[in-house]
């Protein structure tokens, strides 16, 4: 006796010798839930039996007894008809009749689909609702790994489009935006996402802790989180755009760094609670790790490492200009004035925990942890004359009480620390003056250009003693500059190369003496590689020719407009980018149109995200957008990566 898999008994079959007997079952039972999408199939029957059944079926088929109590679905299953074909066709026809052109053009990324349904549509090459309807759900169901559940997911997602569009037309509040993001996360994985980013407790749980609670490995938890983040990117949640727009606006107002408290004080984010803000900050840094980062586990920033170092340097310089002791509030205001708008919460945190300022009952007693050169600048800032390093050592000992260090050792340490710092200019053997105290001649531009011409005419390395004699022959006033200070000043200008002691040359003939500029060396390496390269890889190539440290490569790449960042710590040049001119035109046209419509500055990050969503440019790194906007004369670069039109 053989039984049909996926259905109840419809026929009884017996085999005796070479004869096949077939009779209708005494009663026909309705197919089970999965049988409605399968034709009646016989399994584990040899070919002879199947051939015999086919012959016997023809005369029996018209006279099969059908109970009047059976449903149409059951009758259709008995004779091998698929009832869902008509249902799917009716669904497709209703969508064509009820959806306008705009709804039919909805991309599949905007549908709330399961990952299985989304992958099925992607593999079939279907990009919009209109593509799905024209292709046909029944035809889609016949493809591999596409079952009824997947088809139902697609149908439900299509039916939900009108309500979704209506909701999107409303102003999205912060709470609604967060809920919109959460709605795109697979329900059974929502608890993992909330726990990881502190939605309920305000504390981030580790992968290991989540894994122990859910009964999976930490690696599996990481995979789940990565998959859900990818899902959010693919679906383009309606809540993400207003969140990014307001985050970018707030960051611009605070010099690129904000705290949770800054967000709570903002009108847009005020409707959310602290845990929602913590969730958003941590979620965004994982979603857009190329743009955002967390500083000191408390602050959100989009500044690069170089920009953060520059900001810290400005804070330190402003702090050193203050007269101590000083009231804490006055101290903060004196720093904000030259540095610019900055989060007071971050500034206070940085001064306390990074600079280690000494506080005593609301009064700043000293600027805290300082390097030796910074300490020296602090104690000689009111001295307007050149000072020998031995005298500096005496002042240092008196001010900071380094009684245990021997005089000879302290003198040597002071001389070594300030010799290579640009803030100190050597004017005689062992004698220094602060850079801002040195009197620079008003005609310094003439001195620099004439020095270049002299070195160019020599086509060789020279020294500052020769330059000074030649400048005097040309009756050019050099003021108080001498062979020591002239070299330090000339090296502040581009085009000059430093050699030993007083020796100096120009970059034009640097290759003759194996002294090419670092920027040109990097450019040659990228050009010959014909591809993007990581900083470490570039540095390894440079190390074969020069002794530059890795951070010097990083600074040159960040400051030279010829180099384009295409990924974190990865750079290339325009020659290595496919369809560069077409991408440049698309980016410039979009940015100009947006600025004309909105009238407010736009960030390169926002341009990048919008163009990615439209799929006009498939491969669009943020660094490429920044490069194009920065090098185009049609835009003016504002602080923190924002741009506006050069002519409004």
- Which CATH number belongs to the domain containing residue 136 in this structure? 1.10.150.20
- Structure letter (DSSP) for residue 107: B
Q: What is the pLDDT of residue 281?
A: 93
Is residue 207 a contact partner of residue 221, using CB atoms and an 8 Å limit? yes
CA distances from 36 to 7, 77, 147, 521 (A): 9, 7, 12, 70
Q: What is the pLDDT of residue 402?
A: 61
The verdict on residue 6 lying in a domain is no
d(CA 579, CA 595): 25
Of residues 29 and 317, more confidence is placed in: 317
Quote the mean pLDDT of the chain: 80
Find where tokens 């052109």 sit.
101
Average pLDDT on 520-526 reads 88
Same domain assignment for residues 20 and 90: no
The verdict on residue 404 lying in a domain is yes
Write the CB contacts of 469 (distance below 8 Å, at least 6 apart in sequence). Answer: none
Burial (CB count within 10 angstroms: exposed 0-12, middle 13-18, buried 19+), residue 297: exposed
Q: What is the CATH number of the domain that holds 290?
A: 1.10.10.10
User: What is the CB neighbour count within 10 angstroms for residue 53?
Assistant: 17
The verdict on residue 224 lying in a domain is yes
Burial (CB count within 10 angstroms: exposed 0-12, middle 13-18, buried 19+), residue 628: buried
Q: What is the pLDDT of residue 275?
A: 92
Write the CB contacts of 60 (distance below 8 Å, at least 6 apart in sequence). Answer: 22, 24
Domain boundary among 396, 416, 437: 437
Peptide linkage before 325 cis (omega within 30 of 0): yes
d(CA 13, CA 24): 9
Of residues 164 and 642, more confidence is placed in: 642
The verdict on residue 2 lying in a domain is no
Looking at the structure of the chain, the number of domains it has is: 8
Same domain assignment for residues 475 and 570: no
Same domain assignment for residues 186 and 269: yes
CA distances from 645 to 591, 593, 627 (A): 9, 10, 16
Closest to 389 (Cα-Cα) out of 417, 348, 364: 417
Radius of gyration of the chain (CA): 37
The verdict on residue 638 lying in a domain is yes
Q: What is the pLDDT of residue 648?
A: 63
Sheet bearing 293-295, strands edge to edge: 257-259, 299-301, 293-295
- Structure letter (DSSP) for residue 508: G
- 564, containing H or E segment: strand 564-567
Same domain assignment for residues 570 and 594: no
167-180 pLDDT per residue, tens = 655 557 888 888 88
Examine the pLDDT at 546 and tell me if it is beyond 60: no
Is residue 608 a contact partner of residue 290, using CB atoms and an 8 Å limit? no
> What stretches of 441-579 show up as alpha helix (H) in DSSP?
444-458, 464-473, 483-490, 518-529, 535-543, 550-559
427-443 pLDDT per residue, tens = 988 999 998 899 999 99
Same domain assignment for residues 176 and 270: yes
> What stretches of 200-273 show up as alpha helix (H) in DSSP?
207-214, 218-235, 240-253, 260-264
Q: What is the CATH number of the domain that holds 554?
A: 1.10.10
Closest to 425 (Cα-Cα) out of 398, 464, 463, 386: 386
Same domain assignment for residues 205 and 296: yes
Average pLDDT on 544-553 reads 66
Same domain assignment for residues 203 and 277: yes
Examine the pLDDT at 247 and tell me if it is beyond 90: yes
The verdict on residue 337 lying in a domain is yes
Q: What is the pLDDT of residue 632?
A: 92
Q: Which residues of 565-595 are buried (b: 16+ CB within 10 A; e: fewer)?
A: bbeeebbbbeebbeebeebbebbbebbeeeb
Write the CB contacts of 275 (distance below 8 Å, at least 6 apart in sequence). Answer: 198, 199, 200, 201, 202
The verdict on residue 28 lying in a domain is yes
Examine the pLDDT at 81 and tell me if it is beyond 90: no
Examine the pLDDT at 96 and tell me if it is beyond 80: yes
Same domain assignment for residues 210 and 290: yes
Same domain assignment for residues 296 and 175: yes
pTM for the model: 0.49
The verdict on residue 422 lying in a domain is yes
d(CA 168, CA 239): 9
Find where tokens 């710092």 sit.
421
Same domain assignment for residues 635 and 552: no
Domain boundary among 114, 132, 161: 161
d(CA 13, CA 44): 12
7-36 pLDDT per residue, tens = 444 444 444 444 444 444 443 344 444 444
Of residues 359 and 221, more confidence is placed in: 221
pLDDT band for position 103 (cuts 50, 70, 90)? confident
Q: What is the pLDDT of residue 237?
A: 59
Domain boundary among 537, 559, 575: 575
Least confident of 46-55, 199-208, 332-341, 426-435: 46-55
d(CA 151, CA 161): 16
Domain housing 402: 372-437
In three-state secondary structure terms, 631 is helix
365-374 pLDDT per residue, tens = 777 767 788 8
Least confident of 358-367, 465-474, 632-641: 358-367
Examine the pLDDT at 361 and tell me if it is beyond 60: yes
Burial (CB count within 10 angstroms: exposed 0-12, middle 13-18, buried 19+), residue 600: exposed
In three-state secondary structure terms, 617 is coil
User: What is the CB neighbour count within 10 angstroms for residue 522?
Assistant: 25
Same domain assignment for residues 597 and 557: no
Same domain assignment for residues 157 and 191: no
d(CA 486, CA 469): 12
């Amino acid at each position: 006796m053989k039984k049909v898999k996926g259905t109840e008994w419809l026929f009884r079959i017996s085999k005796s010798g070479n004869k096949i007997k077939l009779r209708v079952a005494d009663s026909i039972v309705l197919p089970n839930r999965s049988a409605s999408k399968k034709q009646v199939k016989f399994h584990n029957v040899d070919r002879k039996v199947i051939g015999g059944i086919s012959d016997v079926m023809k005369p029996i088929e018209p006279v099969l007894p059908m109970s009047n109590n059976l449903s149409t679905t059951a009758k259709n299953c008995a004779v091998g008809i698929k009832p869902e074909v008509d249902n799917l066709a009716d669904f497709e026809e209703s969508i064509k009749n009820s959806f306008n052109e705009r709804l039919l053009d909805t991309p599949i990324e905007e549908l709330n689909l399961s990952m299985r349904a989304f992958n099925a549509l992607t593999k079939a090459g279907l990009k919009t609702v209109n593509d799905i309807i024209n292709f046909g759900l029944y035809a889609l169901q016949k493809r591999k790994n596409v079952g009824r559940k997947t088809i139902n997911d697609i149908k439900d997602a299509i039916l939900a489009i009108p309500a979704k569009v209506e909701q999107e037309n409303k102003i999205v509040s912060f709470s609604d935006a967060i809920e919109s993001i959460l709605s795109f996360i697979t329900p059974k994985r929502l608890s993992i996402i909330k726990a990881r980013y502190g939605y309920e407790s305000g504390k981030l749980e580790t992968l290991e802790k989540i894994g122990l609670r859910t009964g999976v490995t930490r690696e599996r938890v990481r995979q789940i989180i990565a998959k859900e983040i990818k899902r959010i990117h693919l679906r383009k949640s309606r809540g993400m755009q207003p969140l990014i727009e307001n985050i970018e606006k707030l960051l611009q107002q605070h010099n690129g760094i904000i705290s949770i408290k800054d967000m709570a004080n903002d009108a847009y984010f005020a409707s959310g609670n602290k845990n929602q803000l913590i969730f958003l900050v941590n979620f965004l840094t994982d979603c857009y790790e190329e743009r955002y980062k967390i500083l000191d586990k408390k602050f959100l920033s989009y500044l690069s490492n170089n920009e953060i170092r520059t900001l810290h340097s400005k804070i330190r310089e402003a702090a050193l200009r203050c007269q101590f002791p000083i009231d804490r509030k006055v101290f903060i205001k004196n720093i904000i004035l030259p540095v610019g708008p900055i989060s007071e919460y971050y500034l206070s945190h940085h001064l306390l925990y990074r600079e280690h300022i000494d506080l005593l009952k609301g009064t700043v007693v000293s600027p805290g942890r300082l390097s030796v050169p910074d300490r020296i600048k602090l104690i000689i800032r009111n001295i307007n004359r050149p000072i020998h390093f031995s005298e500096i050592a005496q002042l240092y000992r008196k001010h900071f009480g380094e009684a245990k260090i021997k005089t000879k050792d302290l003198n040597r340490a002071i001389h070594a620390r300030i010799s290579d710092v640009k803030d100190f200019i050597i004017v005689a053997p062992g004698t220094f003056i602060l850079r801002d105290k040195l009197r620079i001649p008003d005609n310094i531009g003439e001195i620099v250009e004439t020095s270049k011409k002299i070195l160019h005419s020599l086509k060789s390395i020279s020294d500052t003693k020769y330059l000074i004699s030649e400048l005097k022959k040309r009756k050019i006033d050099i003021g108080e500059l001498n062979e020591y200070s002239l070299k330090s000043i000339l090296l502040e200008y581009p085009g000059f190369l430093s050699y030993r002691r007083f020796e100096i040359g120009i970059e034009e003939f640097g290759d003759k003496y194996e002294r090419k500029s670092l920027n040109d060396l990097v450019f040659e390496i990228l050009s010959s590689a014909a591809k993007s390269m990581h900083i470490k890889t570039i540095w390894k190539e440079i190390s074969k020719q020069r002794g530059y440290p890795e951070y010097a490569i990083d600074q040159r790449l960040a400051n030279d407009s010829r180099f384009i960042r295409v990924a974190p710590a990865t750079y290339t040049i325009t020659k290595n980018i496919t369809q560069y001119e077409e991408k440049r035109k698309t980016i410039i046209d979009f940015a100009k149109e947006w600025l004309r419509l909105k009238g407010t500055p736009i960030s390169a990050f926002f341009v990048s995200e919008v163009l990615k969503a439209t799929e006009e440019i498939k491969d669009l790194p943020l660094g490429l957008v920044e490069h194009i906007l920065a090098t185009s004369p049609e835009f003016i670069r504002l602080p923190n990566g924002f741009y506006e039109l050069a002519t409004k």
